[in-house]
Amino acid sequence: MQAKRFTLNNPPCGRTRREFLWETGGGFAGLALIDLLSSDGFFGRAEGASADGKPPVLLAPKLPHFPTRAKHVIFFFMNGGPSHVDLFDPKPALTKYNGTPYKGKVKVGSNNRAIGYLMQSPFEFKKHGQSGLEISSVYPHLSRFADDLCVIRSLYTDTAAHASGNIQMNTGNVIIGRPSLGSWLSYGLGTMGNDLPGFVVMTDPRGGPIGGTSNWTAGFMPAAYQGTLFRSKGDPLLNLATPEDVSDRTQRHSLNLLQRLNRKHLKNREQESELAARIHSYELAYRMQTTASEVVDVDKESEQTREMYGLNNRLTADFGRKCLIARRLIEKGVRFVQLYSGGGHGPETWDGHVDCIKNHSLHGYETDQPMAGLIEDLKRTGLWEETLLIWGGEFGRTPTSEGVGKPGRDHNWLGFSMWLAGAGVKGGQAIGATDELGFEAVESPYHVSDLHATVLHLMGLDHTKLTYFYHGLEERLTGQRGQVIEGALA
């Protein structure tokens, strides 16, 4: 199953590449390997392929609507719905009413489950940093960066279900088929690095998010803008590896022939930009093989860095690896990286219906050190100045348990928390508030579309002007809604 990968550093038969080529070249006459010897220009960039610069038009870098600091986004998606009252939204009243049935009017929860009994958070909240931002004991490492986080405690969405919730958080609408946030950013800003996709998604080893590819689709936009699944282990991209029974030399020999024939075909057809673009895409694919493989090769990182991301701990290794790769991706110019924590269904995700305490202890632990490690590393490398971080899930959870002595919490879409941090964000604060118990956003409530408007704004885009004309409408990520959350801006 494990296919070989084509890398320049991996010469056939253990010899250096130059030795090999010399030997083969000398071994039998007429073997035209000249092109291979100039292999760093293997695809002959100068020749024909991208003569008119046409190919990357869709993804060419574009200027934002206004100057801004943020160039990249890393979105930590806590799949399943993390509980705000156990993480970022302390509710002393829950301690007071712990165990009593909820008699209020707010109707949340899913699938007609009983609304249940108020349940205090078992996690201790403490004030952190100079700002005194309150964060629960689920996130001890992250708490070190409290002064960088802007927690929005008053978000709400339109749905109680995972599928439509994920899809709304990612595309702005509960109905499938619309372009995702990453697609809008790719469309609006293009990519900066040529050798990698501009919009990368890394899912959890336990499975993808509910809704599948609808979560990173480009919808009605061209496929160039859709999210690309990137694996943190093995071959990072689909079909990146050379087929199993093909040697590196053969791979190059064949590619070489292909491009030579395609370039001959292009003669007398120089004006056909689509043909030139296609030649260019093979060149890009070739470079992608090398670049993408290098990006996931985190063994090159220092032991200290690996430790910082939690790579040496069984529970944090996976998310840590993804966080580290996220840094390496944005270093290469990738615009939007989305990392999923939790996959599949139920306890495999943040969907703590049965035991929210156990659930969040686990998933919180898995993500805490890796995220803190990433923040520290971004600050160390200076990427912090140009990277926007988003943390959150498709909704929050109820302040109630689903029964007495059953520490599970149900879905709550009327009030929940997310945070922003990094470039352009005013950290060390909490914006808005839910009610006394944490059911409903009551102070400065913000809809998902407001969050989207804010993210676009931080990336230098006006959400009312970033439009795509389709089927008679100037479509927007925020539909007819959306207002920038001014308080979140630095």
Residues in region 257-316 near other proteins by CB under 8 A: 257-258, 260-262, 264-266, 268-269, 271-272, 274-275, 277-282, 284-285, 288-289
39, 131, 137, 213: residue in contact with other proteins (rule CB under 8 A): 213
Helix, strand or coil, per DSSP, at residue 338: strand
**Nearest distance from residue 26's CB to other proteins, in Å?**
11
> In this chain, which of 185, 210, 337, 459 binds other proteins, going by CB under 8 A?
210
111/130 with CB nearer other proteins:
111
According to CB under 8 A, which one of 113, 231, 332, 426 is a site residue for other proteins? 231
Neighbours of 24 (CB within 10 A): 14
Distances (CA, A) of 452 to 419, 424, 443, 479: 13, 15, 19, 11
User: Strand runs (DSSP E) across 25-160, as ranges?
Assistant: 72-78, 117-118, 125-128, 133-136, 150-156
Phi and psi angles of residue 78, each rounded to the nearest 5 degrees, phi first: -85, 85
Nearer to other proteins, 83 or 186 (CB): 186
**Residue 53 interacts with other proteins (CB under 8 A): yes or no:** no
159 binds other proteins per the rule CB under 8 A: yes
Burial 198-225 (b: 16+ CB within 10 A, else e): bbbbbbbebbbbbbeebbbbbbebeebb
- Over the window 456 to 485, marking each residue x when it contacts other proteins by CB under 8 A and - when it does not, the resulting string is -------------x-xxx------x-----
Segment interacting with other proteins (CB under 8 A) among 132-140, 213-221, 300-308, 361-369: 213-221
Instruction: Give the interface size with other proteins as a residue count (CB under 8 A).
Output: 95
- Which stretches within 147-271 are classed as H helix? 162-171, 181-189, 248-266
CA 17 to CA 252: how far, in whole Å?
A: 12
- Binds other proteins (CB under 8 A): choice among 81, 219, 396, 427: 219
Binders of other proteins among residues 57 to 116 (CB under 8 A) are: 58, 111
Q: How far is CA 296 from CA 55, 237, 397, 414, in A?
A: 26, 10, 34, 39
Question: Would you say 78 or 388 has its CB closer to other proteins?
Answer: 78
The closest of 141, 157, 130, 75 to 428, measured between CA atoms, is 130
* 96-104, 216-224, 386-394, 419-427 -> range binding other proteins (CB under 8 A): 216-224
Minimum distance of other proteins from residue 450's CB (angstroms):
17
Q: Cβ(369)–Cβ(229) under 8 Å?
A: no
Q: Where in 314-343 is the site for other proteins (CB under 8 A)? A: 343
Closest distance of CB 13 from other proteins, Å: 7
Going from the C-alpha of 136 to that of each of 133, 269, 475, the distances in angstroms are 10, 64, 40
37 makes contact with other proteins (CB under 8 A): no
Both tokens assigned to 82 = 């993390």
Q: Which amino acid is at 54?
A: K
CB of 389 to other proteins, least distance (A): 22
Please list, residue by residue across 32-64, b when 16 or more beta carbons sit within 10 angstroms of its beta carbon and e when fewer do.
ebebbeeeeebbbeeebbbbeeebbebbeeeeb
From residue 388 to residue 427, the character string flagging contacts with other proteins as x (rule: CB under 8 A) and all else as - is: -------------------------x--------------
Site for other proteins, residues 343 to 362, rule: CB under 8 A: 343-345
- Binding segment for other proteins among 88-96, 206-214, 324-332, 460-468 (CB under 8 A)? 206-214
Residue range at the interface with other proteins (CB under 8 A); choices 148-156, 217-225, 302-310, 399-407: 217-225
